[in-house]
Structure 1
Amino acid sequence: MKKAYGRGRTLLPLVSALSIAAPSFASAGELNILTWEGYADPSFIEKFEKASSCKTTSTYVGSNDDFAPKLAAGGGVYDIIVPSIDTIGLMRQAGFVEPIDTKKIEGFSDVYPEFTKANDVVAEGETWSVPLVWGSISLMYRADKVAPKPDSIGVLFDKKYAGKIAMWDDKSSIYWAARLLGFENVYDLTDEQLETVKAKLIEQKPLIRKYWATAGELTELYANQEVWLSNTWTGLQSKEVNALKKGFEVVEFTPKEKAEGWMDSMQLVKGSANTDCAYKFFSFMLSAEGQCGIVGSSGYFPVNPKVVSGCLKGEEAEAKKVNNIEFVKSLVMWQMPARLDKYLEVWNAVKAAP
């Protein structure tokens, strides 16, 4: 599900506004990473630091909407950012990142070509990101509270679960509502369709207990028995909740309207003084230690299937979709919306609604 989006258009006003400030950087050898929770776990990061002599400092984001403001704020210290596939194009358009020399990265040629050749990973004849990990976003519910067994996104809009529903605080809520409403091209909705989506999400808002920001926050909402239903990062939060043994179990499912797919990749911030460490980090994260490490800490799927045979075998390899790129094709893979500024306007209007 890949297409070019608005490549001949004037850059978004949002991009122009965010491009003004230029970040400053820490000393060489001190690699600063803006990434996701679970992507810089000491279990493998310490191995990288020992092998490379490059010190790392990681800052976590809760949404893809966090990357641009943090980079544009000035005084930034980031060398590597790890946005999702629907955001890497914006980082390039805003001038925050620079092209990647893939010849310097060990293991790059072994990554699924569906990712290394994807739109916005490759643009303007250059490669702009290094695939890291991928997965899907499914739905999750408490098996003892939600009945009958749900099979549709519609359960997130069911009034009988008012106050017990959580949604990720991200513009992707638009995609969920759009699919429920039967709109096919959820990344290029018309003004009329977006108004319908906005109305649907505002209608849902009184049912929402919380728009969650991080994996840990959603886990706590379930652990404290505040929510029974949510969308979820497949394979991560359900494992965490069930491991707490709170007397109930949560179950994931793929709705009949399909689940979303995503891929997170590493980008090199323009002007970084730490490019040597950055390229060492890219190679490490595509190696067996890096891929097994991040899969183990996050629960997501590896992008380099050739190096994970030692840590993923049998049913576990099957669950992590190793060498099952066909699964990607069954998902509604994220793309940068053709009119990102309009989508953000709609999502902000939903959150501002009473």
Structure 2
Amino acid sequence: MRSVRTLATAAAVGAMILTFGGCGSSDDNKSSNGGATFTPPDLPMKKSLGKGEGAVSILAWAGYAEKEWVTPFEKATGCKATVKYFNTSDDAVNLIKSGDYDVVSASGDASLRMIAAGSVEPVNTDLVPNYKDVYPFLKDRPWNSVNGQMYGIPHGYGANLLMWNKKDVNPAPTDWSVVFGPDAAKYKGKVTAYDSPIYIADAALYLMNTKPDLKIKDPYALDQKQLDAAVALLKEQKKNVGEYWSDYAKEQSAFETGDTVVGTTWQVIASAVDPKKADVEAILPDSGSTGWSDTWMVATKSKHKNCAYLWMNDIISPKANAAVAQYFGESPSNPKACEFAAKGFCDTYHAGDAAYAAKIHYWNTPTAACLDGRKNVKCTDYQQWTQAWTEVKG
């Protein structure tokens, strides 16, 4: 992983909060797959694939469109690629409206905003031959489809893990109570947490499992009382947090120096920690975790839709999908990618492990219309989460 993802910044998020109603829950752990259920703009879907236009403009997270797999794509299709990397999901939501880009990699906290704004159009998966090989548990999900219609092609996914230094943290933790419960005080000043408003969902997930009276069903669907409870928990946690992280290299360094001994991490960080400096272990607790699943989507204003479709098919082809998954540090979406990945990579990242993936509550955009389907209450939106996170950080 060469550049880390960071989620929405407070400056831009206010204007882009969704107000649509009746969205499906992102919490599909115990239910079948199913997309969101609001009414999106009526946009046409591409019916057939023609000859490539000779160019494609790619808007992506850093590390998703590197020359190692972009160059072979250009040679194979004749579509010359220009790539722009964005730093936050809000950047992506804004930039895709411009008409300057053909295809975008969207995280779950951005995809529904793009769909609701009419910035991206329905995707004809029949025109993406490699789509048939994508893991079924990534298809028709609340962040990439609406009313059973796919709006993108799954790219890769990952979980936010619990990591600790085995020398300093005893006994070995099995759930998030080590960072959210009373035990966290034992590691005061050496607990770490992800620095983003979306981390509120981690606190909400903990409360969902430990405070049933709050009746949280989806960590991204919080009414005011539920949000207040999550914020109170985060403020209590802050007493033990030594550093909030958003830079993967900084968290790696903090574990290696001993400044941090326990907290949220990604598999790519756990794998990067020098075992000579820190003996760490990372798990996805049985109680679940938050995480991400990214989607390639076609811009409504795209001038090169044939090449956009060719790109989506290529990036999930076995060889390219393996390359990008290893570079970025996540599981590929195509199981055939594991044939081209380094030995042990797919095992380390639990690629294709449906039971493992079912524990992940994938990032989604909090909206005033409750994502858990409640109709008789107003939920808090991402702007309120951003304000709350500022309050937590002090």
In structure 1, C-alpha distance between the alignment counterparts of 2:36 and 2:309, rounded to whole Å: 29
Aligned equivalent of 2:390:
351
The answer to whether the 8 Å contact 1:106/1:286 transfers is no
Distance between the aligned counterparts of 1:227 and 1:333, measured in 2? 26
8 Å contact from structure 2 (residues 36, 147) kept in 1: no
* Residues 3, 161 of structure 1: alpha-carbon distance in 2 compared, 3 angstrom cutoff: farther
Query: Shift of the alpha carbon at 1:30?
Result: 4.9
Amino acid at match of 1:240: A
Alignment of 1:129 onto 2:152 = yes
Moved over 4 A (4+): 2-6, 69-72
2:111 aligns with one of 77, 88, 105: 88
Match of 1:250 in 2: 280
Distance in 2, Cα, partners of 1:150 & 1:143:
10
1:45 to 70, 77, 85: 70
Q: Give the letter aligned to residue 83 of structure 1.
A: A
SS at match of 2:141: coil
The residue correspondences of 1:300-319 to structure 2 (distance < 5 A) are 300-311=330-341, 315-319=344-348
One-letter identity of the residue aligned with 1:337 = P
Quote how far apart the aligned CAs of 1:287 are.
0.8
The residue type equivalent to 2:127 in the other structure is K
Displacement of 1:177 after TM fit?
A: 1.0
CA distance in 2, matches of 1:28, 1:220: 44
After the TM superposition, which residues 194-209 of structure 1 pair with which residues of structure 2 at under 5 Å, given as runs?
194-209=227-242
1:240 equivalent to 2:240? Answer: no
**Which region of structure 1 is more displaced relative to structure 2, 223-232 or 287-296?**
223-232
One-letter identity of the residue aligned with 1:342: D
**1:280-307 deviations in Å (ceiling 9; x for gaps):** 2111111122111122213321211135
- Structure 1 distance, partners of 2:391, 2:93, is 21
For the 8 Å contact 2:93–2:110, the answer to whether it is kept is: no
Q: SS in structure 2 opposite 1:131? A: strand
* Contact 2:331-2:346 within 8 A present in 1 as well: no
* Identity, % of aligned positions: 24
What is the Cα deviation at residue 117 of structure 1? 2.0
Q: Which amino acid aligns with 2:359?
A: S
**Structure 2 residue 120 is matched with structure 1 residue 97:** yes
Q: 1:172 to 1:273 in 2, by over 3 A?
A: same
Helix, strand or coil for the counterpart of 1:283? Answer: helix
Q: For the structure 1 residues 42 and 144, does the alpha-carbon distance in structure 2 shift closer, same or farther, using more than 3 Å as the test?
A: farther
- TM-score for the superposition, normalised by structure 1: 0.80
Where does residue 275 of structure 1 map in the other structure?
Answer: 305
Which residue number in structure 2 is paired with residue 149 of structure 1?
172
Which residue in 2 is equivalent to 1:106? 129
CA contact (8 A) 2:189 2:239 kept: yes
Q: Which residue of 1 aligns with 2:38?
A: 7
Q: In the alignment, what sits opposite 2:50?
A: none
The AA in structure 1 aligned to 2:204 is: A
Aligned-partner SS, 1:44:
helix
2:255 to 218, 222, 234: 222
Contact preservation (8 Å) 1:120, 1:128:
no
In structure 2, the partner of 1:326 is 355
Work out whether 1:118 is the aligned partner of 2:124: no
Give TM-score scaled by structure 2 length.
0.73
Query: Offset of 1:92 from its aligned partner?
Result: 0.4
> Does the aligned pair in 2 maintain the 1:202–1:350 contact within 8 Å?
no
Q: In the TM superposition, what whole-angstrom CA distance separates every residue of 1:212-258 from its partner, at most 9, and x where no partner exists?
A: 2243343344345442222122x21111223xx55223220223432
- Residue 189 of structure 1 aligns to a residue whose secondary structure is coil
Residue aligned with 2:108, SS: coil
Q: How does 1:8-23 map to 2 (within 5 A)?
A: none
CA distance in 1, matches of 2:318, 2:35: 33
Change (3 A) 1:254 1:321: closer
The match for 2:21 is: none
Q: Contact 1:175 / 1:187 at 8 angstroms: preserved in 2? A: yes
**Residue 245 (structure 2) aligns with:** 212
Other structure's SS at 2:189 match:
coil
Which one of 186, 205, 213 corresponds to residue 179 of structure 1? 205
Question: Residue 154 of structure 2 contacts residue 294 of structure 2 at CA under 8 Å; is this kept in 1?
Answer: yes
Report the alpha carbon displacement of residue 98 of structure 1 after superposing the two structures with TM: 1.8
* C-alpha distance 329-306 of structure 1, shift in aligned 2 (>3 A): same
**Does residue 31 in structure 1 map to residue 57 in structure 2?**
yes
One of 305, 320, 331 as aligned partner of 1:290: 320
Residues 141-193 of structure 1: CA distance to partner in whole angstroms, max 9, x if unpaired? 22233222122212224133333233222333122112222344323223211
Greater alpha carbon shift after TM alignment, 191-200 vs 105-114: 105-114
**How far does residue 264 in structure 1 lie from its aligned partner after superposition?**
1.0
Q: Distance in 2 between matches of 1:217 and 1:28?
A: 41
- Deviation (angstroms), 1:337: 3.3
Aligned counterparts of 1:50 and 1:226: Cα–Cα separation in 2: 47
Q: Deviations over 1:43-95 (max 9, x none)?
A: 3233223333422324143x5454334546x6x84432222235311210122
Q: Matched residues in 2 for 1:70 and 1:225: separation?
A: 40
Structure 1 unmatched runs, 5+: 12-26
C-alpha contact 1:152 1:256 (8 A) present in aligned 2: yes
Cα distance in structure 2, aligned partners of 1:45 and 1:249 = 37
Matched-pair contact (CA < 8 Å) for 1:134–1:302: yes
1:174 maps to a residue whose letter is I
> 1: CA distance between counterparts of 2:241 and 2:94?
26
SS of match in other structure, 1:308: helix
How many residue pairs match? The answer is 330
